Amino acid sequence: MADSSPGPAILRMAIGFAIGAAIGFTVANNMTPGRPAPTAMQAPVQATEGSTSAADSDSPTGGLSDEELRRAMAAVDARPDDFEAQFKMGEALLRISRRPSDAIHYYERAVAIQPKNAEALVGLGDANFATALEGGNTAGDASRLDAARAAYERAIVIAPGSAGVHAALGSTYALRKPPVVDKARASFERALAIDPQNALARRGLADLGVSATNGNASGPRP
């Protein structure tokens, strides 16, 4: 018999949106006011052809009403040991609904279930990174940047060849106030050694050149 309960149906809808999302969240990086915002990071798994990113969605909830999204979250909450449900709910909230602070909870559950899943760790890093910059906070909330840094570092252990994750890690250092220039530069340089065209790393190094001349290279370590 087909499952006709509303919870699973809404859950499948939310997961469908998550699958269509670009895995590689874009957030505004306002290290230098007035300059175009680069991509925050490119996750190890790139967006599939024809996928819909959060920036392309006409609705802030990616086509789900607030009530449908609430029901989807409740359905996932009822399955706390289901990695796929937790991970894809995090993806839907972060990359489609643009609710990174809510996504953190689901990524944390996913990572608890599969601690060595690089995609879940990257999602957790992205969600914390985006939350750190909410409300136009150009410096970034230190505690959330620390959480993003820790998640990216764990992901790098599993996927050391990902230029995007190295660049994202560098951003967690660059966006501190003051920036931790030497560690940020090292991460950006690692990213460019892997992918010389990585836009975030190239932009990050350019911005760090300004910071370094201002004497911030010896800023406090996290």
Question: pLDDT for 110-139, tens place per residue?
Answer: 999 999 999 999 999 999 999 998 866 555
Q: Is residue 131 part of a domain?
A: yes
Q: Residue 182 domain-assigned?
A: yes
Q: Residue 28: pLDDT above 80?
A: no
Asked if residue 48 is part of any domain, the answer here is: yes
**What is each CA distance from 200 to 103, 108, 117, in whole angstroms?**
23, 25, 23
Q: What mean pLDDT do residues 78-94 have?
A: 94
- Quote the CA–CA distance of 151 and 125 in Å, as a whole number: 5
Considering only CA atoms, give the Rg of the chain. Answer: 18
Instruction: Give the whole-number percent of the chain exceeding pLDDT 90.
Output: 51
Is residue 153 situated within a structural domain? yes
User: Is residue 106 scored above 50 in pLDDT?
Assistant: yes
* Residue 221: inside a domain: no
Could you list the residue range(s) of the whole structural domain that residue 181 is in? 6-213
- Total number of domains constituting the chain: 1
Of the listed ranges 7-16, 180-189, 200-209, 212-221, the least confidently predicted one is 212-221
Most confident residue range from 14-23, 96-105, 111-120: 111-120
What CATH number is given to the structural domain containing 198? Answer: 1.25.40.10
Give the pLDDT score at 42: 35
pLDDT of 55: 30
Q: Is the pTM of this model over 0.95?
A: no
User: CA–CA distance from 34 to each of 29, 134, 138 (Å)?
Assistant: 11, 17, 12
Dmax (CA) of the chain? 68
Is 222 part of any domain? no
pLDDT band at 6 (very low <50, low <70, confident <90, very high): very low
Structure confidence at residue 177 (pLDDT): 86
pLDDT at 45 over 90: no
In a domain, 220, yes or no: no
Q: What is the pLDDT of residue 141?
A: 80
Q: Which of 27, 26, 30, 32 is nearest to 207 (CA)?
A: 32
User: Cα(174)–Cα(181) distance, rounded to whole angstroms?
Assistant: 6
